[in-house]
Amino acid sequence: MPPAIDRSKVIIRPISSSKTEQRWVWEMVIRNLTNCVIPGLVKRTLAQLPAAAIAAPVLAFLWYVTGNAIFSVLATVIFWVVISVANCYMGIWGWEACFQEEKANLYEYYNRPKSRFWVAENAGRILGSVAIDRKTDDVAELKRMVLEPDCRGSGIASDLVKTAVEFCKESGYKELFLSTSEFQLSARALYAKCGFKETDIIRNPSDFYLTTLYVHIFRMTLTEEKIKPFAHVISWHKTN
Ligand SMILES: CC(C)(COP(=O)(O)OP(=O)(O)OC[C@H]1O[C@@H](n2cnc3c(N)ncnc32)[C@H](O)[C@@H]1OP(=O)(O)O)[C@@H](O)C(=O)NCCC(=O)NCCS
């Protein structure tokens, strides 16, 4: 099926200072990321020992109290699914809570030197976003890359990445990096297609208590000069 949106009619522009637009864009970012990660993460949690270890005593307790094996197994499975789903949403909320300053004012947060937040817009509707966050004078992080589901497969995502990469080159950055998760298959394919190299796969430090999320680090070198990879990513890796 062809994409619902004509790429040539889409404009990519910096986010405005309108509070309504900022709230809408943040909601779009979190919703798209959550919907992409949750199914895989819930399946992983269900299959992992910590969730099973919590479910086992519940099964024993129910069986002991009711004496009904079928009821106890069914109730335990429901409990297991509920705690797995809750664990994933709590992880996402915990992760989102780390970005309070950014969430409070996207426009101001990205209106610093060498940082920027863009939205893709068509006929007044915001379809997607991407951001560049300055880490050091030489290194930037690409963040908040999302596209609404009905606009995917149209090339708009590549246009957003190109806009961000061009900005980094013009701003004099030497390295651009980003992190994505093992469950974000289209994102990983997109970054590889746009010239990023996958350099590390690291365990997410702490957000998802009962399960493990692997984070894929992608980098793009923007200079001929030989540079050391950004230390922040390496120290995160070493502690995990
Ligand atoms: C990441 C995202 C912005 C990419 O937008 P998009 O319009 O799907 O991008 P593209 O159409 O260029 O697709 C990228 C590639 O992924 C491939 N792809 C799509 N779904 C895939 C899947 N489930 N498994 C493997 N590859 C997949 C596409 O075939 C395409 O490769 P191709 O051009 O060689 O055919 C969009 O999918 C999205 O918003 N996802 C949810 C949020 C997210 O994960 N954001 C990334 C944060 S790091």
- Residue 179 sits in a domain whose CATH number is 3.40.630.30
User: In the numeric block, which tokens belong to residue 175?
Assistant: 């390295």
- C-alpha to C-alpha distance for 125 and 145, rounded to whole angstroms: 17
124 and 209 co-located in one domain? yes
Alpha helices in 140-184 (DSSP H): 156-170
Atom of ligand 1 nearest to the CA of 147: 39
Question: Each residue of 160-218: pLDDT tens digit?
Answer: 999 999 999 999 999 999 999 999 999 999 999 999 999 999 987 666 778 888 999 99
The answer to the question of residue 13 being in a domain is yes
| Residue that terminates a domain, selected from 55, 73, 97 | 97
State in Å: Cα 103 to ligand 1 middle. 24
pLDDT at 72 over 60: yes
Number of domains in the chain: 2
Nearest protein CA to atom 26 of ligand 1, as residue = 186
- Angle, helices 69-97 vs 49-66, to 10°: value is 140
Residues with beta carbon inside 6 Å of ligand 1?
32-33, 36, 145-147, 152-154, 157-158, 180, 184-187, 189-190, 193
What is the domain extent for residue 127? Answer: 7-17+106-238
- C-alpha to C-alpha distance for 183 and 162, rounded to whole angstroms: 23
Site to substitute for ligand 1 among 129, 186, 217, most atoms within 8 A of C-beta: 186
207 and 131 co-located in one domain? yes
| pTM for the whole structure | 0.87
Reported confidence tier of residue 27, pLDDT bands at 50, 70, 90:
very high
